[in-house]
Homo-oligomer: A and B are copies of this chain.
C-alpha cells in the first residue's frame, strides 16, 4: 500500500470524525449554551484523532460499515477529550496550552472545565446506546462495558491516579509500564475493541490478534509521546513541551535514556506489526497507522 493511500484514508477518517463529533455534540443554541460552547471548544478542530483512526482501522478488519464505526469513534474520542480537559486543570497538570489553543479552564473557568469533562463522559456513553446501532444489542452492551472499564479506576482514571502518586518518585520500568497501560493503553485498546465489534465478522482469533496489536500500540504511543515531549518545542507539539520533565514525572526517556527509548519504540512497532502479520490486506491501515505513530515527528 502506498503512503499516499494511507494519507488519503487518514484525512478521510479525520474529516468524517469531525463531522460525526460535531453532530454528536449539542448545538450552540441549546441551553446551557455556555457549557455547550465549551464542550465544542474542547472537542472540535483538535488532535490527530488517533483513537478514531484505530477504531476505523479495526472496523475494516471485521467488515464494519464506516457509518457505524463513526459512532464508536466519537465515543472514544469524547472520553479522550474529557480526560484532556480534566488533566489540564490546575489541580492536575495545570496546563494552559493544548492543541495550540488555551486550555478549557483558561478560556472559560475551572468550574466550566470540570462540567465540560463530566458532560463529555456522559455523551460518550450516550453514543454507544443509540437504538439499533448494531443488529445485536448484546454486542452494543459489550461496547459499553469495554468503554466503562477502560475509562474507570482500573483504566484511564486509575492511570491518572498512579501518575499523580509517581510525581517525584523514582519508579521502575515495570511500574511505569503499569501506569501507561492504565493511563493511555486502556483507551487505545478499547478503541480497537470497539471498532472491531462494529463489524459482522467476529472471529475470535482475529479479535485476539487485534487485541494484542492494540496493547503494543498503546505502549508504543506513550514511548513516542515521551520522546516527543523531551525533544519537541512547544510550537511543533501544540502543547507545552518538556512539561513532564519539569513536573518531575518519570518518562521512558528519563528512565531509559533517549537512545534506549527509541530502541524500545522500534521493538514495540515490530511486535505490533507481528501481532497482525497473519491478517489480510484489510489490516493494512492498522499497519500504516503503527508506522505513522512512530514517525509522527522523528
Which residues of A are in contact with B by a Cβ distance under 8 Å?
26, 30-32, 34-36, 39, 82-83, 86, 89, 91-92, 109-112, 114-115, 117-119, 121-123, 125-126, 128-131, 136-138, 140-142, 144-145, 147-149, 151-155, 157-158, 160-162, 164-165, 178, 182
Contact = CB atoms under 8 A, between A and B. Distances in A.
A154 B148 CA distance: 21
B123 A165 contact: no
A122 B119 CA distance: 12
B32 A152 contact: no
A140 B137 contact: yes
Nearest to A159: B32
Given A137-B141, A144-B129, A158 B121 contact: no
A91 B130 CA distance: 33
B129 A148 contact: yes
A144 B131 contact: no
Contact of A152 (B114, B119, B164): B119
6 contacts: A26-B154, A31-B162, A92-B111, A115-B160, A115-B161, A129-B144
A86 B85 CA distance: 14
A161 B130 CA distance: 25
Name the 6 nearest CB pairs between A and B, nearest first. A122-B152, A91-B110, A126-B148, A129-B145, A137-B137, A35-B161
A39 to B, nearest CB: 6
A34 B158 CA distance: 10
At the interface, is chain A mostly helix, strand, loop or mixed? helix
Copies of this protein in the assembly total 2
Q: Name the residue among A26, A123, A129, A142 with the largest chain B CB count within 10 angstroms.
A: A129
Q: Name the residue among A89, A153, A158, A182 with the largest chain B CB count within 10 angstroms.
A: A153
Contacts of A30: 154
B122 A151 contact: yes
A35 B141 CA distance: 26
Given A32-B158, A91-B111, A131-B141, 8 more contacts: A86-B118, A89-B91, A122-B157, A126-B144, A126-B152, A136-B137, A141-B141, A144-B144
A144 B161 contact: no
B145 A130 contact: yes
B125 A158 contact: no
Nearest to A123: B152
Given A126-B145, A126-B149, A141-B141, A91 B114 contact: yes
